[in-house]
Amino acid sequence: MIVVPTWDLFITLFFIVGIGYGVILQREKILATLISTYIALAVATAWGDKVFEFFNGNSILFNQFWIRSNMSEFSIKALLFGLLIVLLTLKGDFSVSIGKSEGMVSTVFVFIYSFLNTGLIVESIINFLPQTAKMTIINQSDIAALVMSYDIAWVVVPALLMIVGGFLTSRAQSAAAPVA
């Protein structure tokens, strides 16, 4: 019997690893990663075509440099997206200051942020695929179809949750502040 991994298995494992990563890093770092994912998505979407043209020799940099490769547009966009997430998360010059947040609510927020960040990454990578490849994966994977059916939510809900989390953190800090 030959066991062939499916897209559902791969996506499920990616979600498990992504959520585990977020839980290990805690709220501040997962928020920084989520912000990095938004920035990487914007850059890969806006700039991916230009980078693809450069790596296929169709565009010259500084009228002197060009590269000829056989990389697909998907490969370029996915690589740019992943590289930017890693670089911005590790070396980005921004910090997320949310105050001290403890307890069950903070743990729930970390889990939700991690889940939404992972979903945004999966949805973005699938969207970078050519239409035929994207449809093939969606048709072969119930989880990919589910992820893609909420494509707008993966982009909007994390931002809304960050706003709600900010209000909740502010309220908790106000309640905990000593009265003078």
pLDDT band per the 50, 70, 90 thresholds, residue 16 = very high
- Asked if the structure places residue 4 within a domain, the reply is no
* Confidence at residue 97, expressed as pLDDT on a 0 to 100 scale: 55
* Confidence at residue 14, expressed as pLDDT on a 0 to 100 scale: 92
* Confidence at residue 91, expressed as pLDDT on a 0 to 100 scale: 81
Q: Give this prediction's pTM.
A: 0.78
Q: In which domain, by residue range, is 27 found? A: 11-172
- Asked if the structure places residue 106 within a domain, the reply is yes
- Asked if the structure places residue 114 within a domain, the reply is yes
Q: What is the spatial distance between Cα 99 and Cα 101, in angstroms, rounded to a whole number?
A: 6
- Asked if the structure places residue 178 within a domain, the reply is no
Q: Which residue reads 């960050």 in tokens?
A: 162
pLDDT single digits (tens) 58-105: 666 555 665 666 778 888 889 989 999 998 888 877 665 555 555 556
- Asked if the structure places residue 179 within a domain, the reply is no
Domains contained in the chain, number: 1
In this model, does residue 30 exceed pLDDT 90?
A: no
- Please report the DSSP string for 77-118 in residue order: HHHHHHHHHHHHHHH-S---------SHHHHHHHHHHHHHHH
Structure tokens at 177: 């502040």
- Asked if the structure places residue 6 within a domain, the reply is no
Question: Does residue 125 or residue 53 have the better pLDDT?
Answer: 125
Percent above pLDDT 70 for the chain: 78
- Asked if the structure places residue 177 within a domain, the reply is no
